[in-house]
A and B are shown apart, each in its own frame.
Chain A
């Protein structure tokens, strides 16, 4: 296991390095000019050149890359070309929204999807099993912004229980207000995420229910619930954990639609704006962080899967030996 962990950690570092370099080059090769975001219409060509010089985007790529590497070595992601603020603190500010939003939505989705998926599998053939399956199918077809707007219409505009959007100016210094602002967005993401997760849990549960080992356990006299708890859960977890990891990773940046609907200052909306302005340091900072996050989540999920499923450990040990 230790050798596996070291190997995976090295792989993670290498992936990160390669993706960073690729990102750096790609961003600057793509057409677009960050100076455009700063210039007034009516600004002269001389002013445009001066702006590029000021931003350092007129330097040769190799020189820009060297500067970026030097900064990175000091854990400095540079400053935004547009706002002049340090990218690190900009990102930190946004994480205060994105991390709770993602984690809470993910937990809620798992809380909904795991029992529902099981229930649909256990109650196949009954009317409410079919109904639940139908509802989860419907959830897959519904776009996330639509769910968000529906929830806003009902809970913010009609009932006036929750804010329609925005985030308190005091940030987490006003914890109740901050949490309230996140409630509808969390539910929005969770509902949509739960719909697809339910299907995975459902099919994994079906496999388990039809498995030989569960039949054996029941033949030995264990009631279904106990058999499922003791043997089934692990069987379901093995295929579902990687799916959970993918869902979690995609929510991290995929929350941008929800952020726009609810006017939340998250990482996704920051990235979209930075792309529009060709604000390279911000784009690079956010994407590097999210690449690292996604790779880490994948790493954790793989490790968890090996812990859950002893068969993986054996085959891996066999091949790596």
Chain B
């Protein structure tokens, strides 16, 4: 079941239907250079579970279809800025509670029908429906009504201000309202349409002739799916794939050191490796104990041993691509003596025994061993409990039955989970909850950023979790391929800007 939990946790990101324009894609000229014969092959470990990002499609659906097959009203640039996509304009009422969106004209679905406000209304309601498995439902639940006064206008009314609304809408795929089952078929507006999906092997898409924007470079793109990283590497080495969407282990990079044949790109990701405490339970209900544990673990050494010179220690839940990022790696920094003092002060001079719930797939078991040996130095004896992804989801995430756990959190802007005392780690600081709530109803992004920075300082001060490090985002490609995005701010892998010589 390796990796499934990663899917789980990735799923929020997974669903983000946001377009990342790579720098090269922006620079290179559009349709004229499109080569009809270009057939691109993309290697990935994340096959979609189904085709619907609001129905459990998972990371694979977002990676392959987001931006390529489906588009949203807005999209994010590679640097995280929000751009208009399927809207040509929008206005916000002075009280911030009514958004009026004017839809772009001339947009067609792959089935040929023009996109209208009905489709947008349908797509939003789909997310808000009771049967949606999407977590976006929670960030959009201030939406009171969605109306379509005419074919090209959509009016969204809110029960409370939401400064992130436009950003969150960049994650909502616009699906033709006549599409019967989005899990098994697609009808989007993107530059590619789905040609075939041979489950367990390949997902092929073809350039959509009726696309409203610049035509994509390659006429055909095939995502090839692998379950073993070694098999994926071999595919790139032997030329069966042109580019690998994201490399999960630095060991895999050695064969690609030949720079005349391959390019290794390191960008920033939003994947944070957490040692998450159950803040409801002793001894981790005490901030002092959490800070002691954080100070007892040498994050920089851990990162080096896992990723070599790649990745970074950020010291909080906020990665550099979130607007409220600050380098807080200096807080609760590695200091064994300080850790011992804090433990003594908290009433645990000799340490204590604890169980660490450890997902069975990489990198967690290795990390658990490291944490165990670090904490042994301050008298904390760690029992490593290896669990399956399903167990983690049921026991830790849903039933909060754990003391501490390791987990990768891949979403951007996910500091908001610290404002929800019901979240699995049970961090309950009314001041933080209030700051996060107020940040959402802020009038300007500056105000929002300011409030979230303050919240982040509080969270770090409390050592709500121990943020071990931020993963690097590594793309490996054959040297004859250009135009792919370096940063994975979202789970998507935009292919329309990629060219193959």
Residues on A facing B (Cβ under 8 Å): 31-33, 35-48, 50-51, 54, 82-85, 90, 93-94, 149, 152, 156-157, 160, 163-169, 171, 260-266, 269-270, 273, 275-278
Q: Which B-chain residue is minimally distant from A46 (CB atoms)?
A: B130
The answer on a CB contact under 8 Å between B12 and A165 is no
Cα distance, A164 to B411, chains bound together (Å): 34
The answer on a CB contact under 8 Å between B200 and A169 is no
The answer on a CB contact under 8 Å between A277 and B4 is yes
Cα distance, A235 to B181, chains bound together (Å): 59
The one of B130, B240, B390, B417 in contact with A163, judged by C-beta atoms closer than 8 angstroms, is B240
| B93 within 8 A of partner (CB) | no
Size category of the B interface is 35 or more
| B211 within 8 A of partner (CB) | no
Residue numbers in A under 8 Å from B224 (CB-CB): 166, 263
Contacts A38-B56, A163-B240, A164-B235 hold; do A45 and B198 have CB atoms under 8 A apart?
no
The one of B4, B198, B390 in contact with A33, judged by C-beta atoms closer than 8 angstroms, is B390
The answer on a CB contact under 8 Å between B394 and A33 is yes
The one of B12, B199, B222, B231 in contact with A41, judged by C-beta atoms closer than 8 angstroms, is B12
Q: Which A-chain residue is minimally distant from B407 (CB atoms)?
A: A41
Contacts A50-B131, A93-B199, A94-B200 hold; do A263 and B227 have CB atoms under 8 A apart?
yes
Residue numbers in A under 8 Å from B181 (CB-CB): 84
7 pairs from A and B in contact (CB 8 Å cutoff):
A31-B391, A33-B393, A39-B8, A41-B8, A83-B183, A85-B184, A261-B228
Residue numbers in B under 8 Å from A43 (CB-CB): 133-135, 137-138
Q: Which A-chain residue is minimally distant from B397 (CB atoms)?
A: A41
Residue numbers in B under 8 Å from A273 (CB-CB): 200, 227
The answer on a CB contact under 8 Å between B199 and A44 is no
Most buried by B among A82, A83, A168: A83
Q: Which A-chain residue is minimally distant from B15 (CB atoms)?
A: A40
The answer on a CB contact under 8 Å between A83 and B14 is no
The one of A41, A44, A169 in contact with B204, judged by C-beta atoms closer than 8 angstroms, is A169
Most buried by B among A167, A266, A270: A167
The one of B49, B227, B417 in contact with A82, judged by C-beta atoms closer than 8 angstroms, is B49
Q: Which A-chain residue is minimally distant from B202 (CB atoms)?
A: A169
Residue numbers in A under 8 Å from B4 (CB-CB): 37, 276-277
Q: Which B-chain residue is minimally distant from A39 (CB atoms)?
A: B133
| B201 within 8 A of partner (CB) | yes
Cα distance, A226 to B4, chains bound together (Å): 60
Contacts A82-B50, A171-B198 hold; do A38 and B394 have CB atoms under 8 A apart?
no
| B402 within 8 A of partner (CB) | no
Interface residues of B in 204-240 (CB under 8 A from A): 204, 222, 224-228, 230-232, 234-235, 237-238, 240
Residue numbers in A under 8 Å from B231 (CB-CB): 164-165, 260-263
The answer on a CB contact under 8 Å between B228 and A45 is no
The answer on a CB contact under 8 Å between A265 and B200 is yes
Residue numbers in B under 8 Å from A94 (CB-CB): 199-200
Q: Which A-chain residue is minimally distant from B391 (CB atoms)?
A: A31
Interface residues of B in 42-100 (CB under 8 A from A): 49-50, 55-56
User: Can you list, as one digit per residue, whether each of B121-161 has a CB less than 8 Å from chain A (1) or not (0)?
Assistant: 00000000011111111100000000000000000000000
Chain B nearest CB, measured from A148 CB (Å): 9
The answer on a CB contact under 8 Å between A38 and B133 is yes
| B111 within 8 A of partner (CB) | no
Q: Which A-chain residue is minimally distant from B399 (CB atoms)?
A: A45
| B9 within 8 A of partner (CB) | yes
The answer on a CB contact under 8 Å between B390 and A160 is no
Residue numbers in B under 8 Å from A263 (CB-CB): 201, 224-228, 231-232, 235
Interface residues of B in 3-54 (CB under 8 A from A): 4, 7-9, 11-12, 14-15, 49-50
The one of B8, B15, B50 in contact with A36, judged by C-beta atoms closer than 8 angstroms, is B8
